[in-house]
């Protein structure tokens, strides 16, 4: 960032994508003075004049959050496998909310791989 830098950043953290968007590169791109890519409005040229201490803090928090998320993946995969392997409940097992507490849950919804 300018004359400075952050490192080391684990390659797995640097490469995290959400819906095809690389998280770290996107975060940095929005904060760079000369942002690459297409522009959607004149406001796209509004950028910070310099890198601030708060931006450093926010960037480090982003890196830590992404790293922590990656560290949790094995446990989350095990938990998901356990849920998927467990018993399913069917629509008749669900209690219909009363009219006073009616929400979108009133609508029938697919139950994934479960059979009705």
Q: How confident is the model at residue 33 (pLDDT cuts 50, 70, 90)?
A: low
Q: Domain residues for 91?
A: 11-97
Half-sphere exposure of 7 (CA within 13 A, CB side): 5
Structure tokens at 99: 């009219």
Kindly state whether residue 112 falls inside one of the protein's structural domains.
no
State the total domains in the chain: 1
Kindly state whether residue 87 falls inside one of the protein's structural domains.
yes
Contact indicator for 23, 16 with CB cutoff of 8 Å: yes
- Could you tell me how many helices (H) and strands (E) the chain has, helices first? 3, 2
Kindly state whether residue 25 falls inside one of the protein's structural domains.
yes
pLDDT tens track for 57-102 = 999 999 999 999 999 999 999 999 999 998 888 878 777 766 665 5
Kindly state whether residue 114 falls inside one of the protein's structural domains.
no
Kindly state whether residue 3 falls inside one of the protein's structural domains.
no
Half-sphere exposure of 108 (CA within 13 A, CB side): 6
Q: How confident is the model at residue 108 (pLDDT cuts 50, 70, 90)?
A: low
Kindly state whether residue 76 falls inside one of the protein's structural domains.
yes
Choose among 33, 74, 26, 27: nearest CA to 51.
33
Kindly state whether residue 62 falls inside one of the protein's structural domains.
yes
Residue 17 in 3-state DSSP?
strand
């Amino acid at each position: 960032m300018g004359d400075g830098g952050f490192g080391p950043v684990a390659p797995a953290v640097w490469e995290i994508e959400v819906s095809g968007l690389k998280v770290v590169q996107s975060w940095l791109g929005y904060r760079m003075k000369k942002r690459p890519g297409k522009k959607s409005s004149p406001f796209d040229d509004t950028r910070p004049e310099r890198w601030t201490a708060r931006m450093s803090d926010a960037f480090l928090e982003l890196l830590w959050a992404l790293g922590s998320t990656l560290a949790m993946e094995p446990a989350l995969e095990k938990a998901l496998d356990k849920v998927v392997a467990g018993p399913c409940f069917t629509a008749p097992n669900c209690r219909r909310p009363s009219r006073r507490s009616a929400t979108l849950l009133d609508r029938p919804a697919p139950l994934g791989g479960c059979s009705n």
